[in-house]
Amino acid sequence: MSASLKSEIRHDWTAEEVRHLLELPFNDLLFQAQAVHRAHFNPNEVQVSTLLSIKTGACPEDCKYCPQSGHYNTGLEKEKLLEIEKVVGEARQARESGATRFCMGAAWRNPNAKNMPYVLEMVKQVKDLGLETCMTLGMLTADQAEALAGAGLDYYNHNLDTSENFYGQIITTRTYADRLETLQNVRDAGMKVCCGGILGMGESELDRAELLCQLANLPEHPESIPINMLVRVEGTPLENEEELEPFEFIRMIAVARIMMPRSHVRLSAGRENMNEQMQALCFFAGANSIFYGEKLLTTPNPETNRDMRLFAKLGIRPEQRQQCQDEDLQEQALLQAVEVKRREAEMFYDAADER
């Protein structure tokens, strides 16, 4: 792979350039994305994260896509903040199934002073299991970000979701600037940033190009970029939104890969409605992370056995986490467990089971 492909990290993208990439002939775009991907990553490895909703429903924000907003009646049963032991138990199970990162999400506008000690303790105990930790709790002050970093939180997820222009049509209870401020607080506290968006909310191609520009023109590229396909949930204002053309989704993955070559691009929500061929094309376009586990936060995700079967069919292995040497032994045990699961999936591979 040429050195120039490997070294180009840019923060000066224009929407016109991004639209040009989005509109390339499909094969040219995928070829370019795969070349960039191979210059930076092992193309046969995918990082696996598991999600848990630690506080479900009754959110004061009005995000039109979200089943957890208290503004809409989606029939979701709201829950209080989960107990620490319950969260740690779920994290242990996720580790045993082969996840390397555990992401905890709360339906909050922001965490309050009463909640903070609990979430900090969750971070410490989940980290002690040898997992990478990620949280998504809404807006953070600089002090809250510092406290989470101090507890050992590796990643903070806070999505820009769409372009600045389209944002006001999706959310009215906070601004794009609020979002950017939290991202800055997370960076200043020294945590890794997980930030991406949702496609299929009725946005234009220009909105999608502008979202990618916003992400790539941040002072540092987010280490993790979740690209979510809208999960259309009954009761939300977007329940009847027209489905996004699947090739447009794959194109966005490919362009994200080209623009942010060292970041993990996550094929995020929406996999439940994607067939295996579509997911394989997303991996070819440069997606190298997934949410793994039968539930996202409140909506279904593919069964773990199905994912392992897909990995086996594609010759993909779960990526090892980056770590220091004294964690190697724990990691080896974990990888062995994943390999056993993968072999089992291979043995029980059912050629008729195609979706």
- Contacts with ligand SAM by CB under 6 A lie at 65-66, 68, 105, 107-108, 136, 138, 158-159, 161, 198, 228, 230-231, 233, 269, 297
Backbone phi and psi for residue 138, each to the nearest 5 degrees, phi listed first? 95, -155
The DSSP line for 96-155 is HHT-SEEEEEE--SS--TTTHHHHHHHHHHHHHTT-EEEEE-S---HHHHHHHHHHT--E
Q: Could you give the CA distance from residue 65 to residue 198 in angstroms, rounded to a whole number?
A: 9
CB of 199 to ligand DTB, least distance (A): 11
Element (H or E) spanning 267, and its range? strand 264-267
293 near ligand DTB, rule: CB under 6 A: no
107 near ligand SF4, rule: CB under 6 A: yes
For ligand DTB (CB under 6 A), the number of binding residues is 17
Question: Does the annotation mark 195 as catalytic?
Answer: no
CB of 125 to ligand SAM, least distance (A): 20
58 φ/ψ sector (left φ>0, alpha ψ -120 to 50, else beta): left
Q: Could you give the CA distance from residue 52 to residue 94 in angstroms, rounded to a whole number?
A: 10
Given the residues 103, 195, 213, 282, select the one marked as catalytic: 103
**8 A C-beta contact, residue 112 and residue 274:** no
Q: Could you give the CA distance from residue 339 to residue 330 in angstroms, rounded to a whole number?
A: 14
Nearer to ligand SAM, 68 or 163 (CB): 68
49, 69, 97, 268: which one binds ligand SF4 (CB under 6 A): 69
Q: Could you give the CA distance from residue 189 to residue 40 in angstroms, rounded to a whole number?
A: 26
Nearer to ligand SAM, 32 or 136 (CB): 136
Q: Of ligand SF4, ligand SAM, ligand DTB, none, which one sits near residue 158, judging by CB under 5 to 8 A according to partner kind?
A: ligand SAM
Q: Of ligand SF4, ligand SAM, ligand DTB, none, which one sits near residue 120, judging by CB under 5 to 8 A according to partner kind?
A: none
CB of 219 to ligand SF4, least distance (A): 24
Tell me, rounded to whole angstroms, the distance of Cα 176 from its chain centroid: 19
Question: Does the annotation mark 194 as catalytic?
Answer: yes
Burial 101-132 (b: 16+ CB within 10 A, else e): bbbbbbbbebbeeebbebbbebbbbbbeebbb
231 near ligand DTB, rule: CB under 6 A: yes
Q: Of ligand DTB, ligand SF4, ligand SAM, none, which one sits near residue 161, judging by CB under 5 to 8 A according to partner kind?
A: ligand SAM
197 near ligand SF4, rule: CB under 6 A: no
133, 144, 268, 288: which one binds ligand DTB (CB under 6 A): 268
Question: Does the annotation mark 324 as catalytic?
Answer: no
157 near ligand SF4, rule: CB under 6 A: no
Amino acid present at 94 = A
Task: State whether the Cα torsion 262-264-267-268 is positive or negative.
Answer: negative
The Cβ of residue 176 has, within 10 Å, a number of other Cβ atoms equal to 18
Residues that bind ligand DTB (CB under 6 A): 51, 67, 103, 105, 136, 157, 159, 196, 226, 228, 231, 268-269, 296-299
Q: Which residues are catalytic?
A: 59, 63, 66, 103, 134, 194, 266
Residues that bind ligand SF4 (CB under 6 A): 59, 61, 63, 66, 68-69, 107, 138
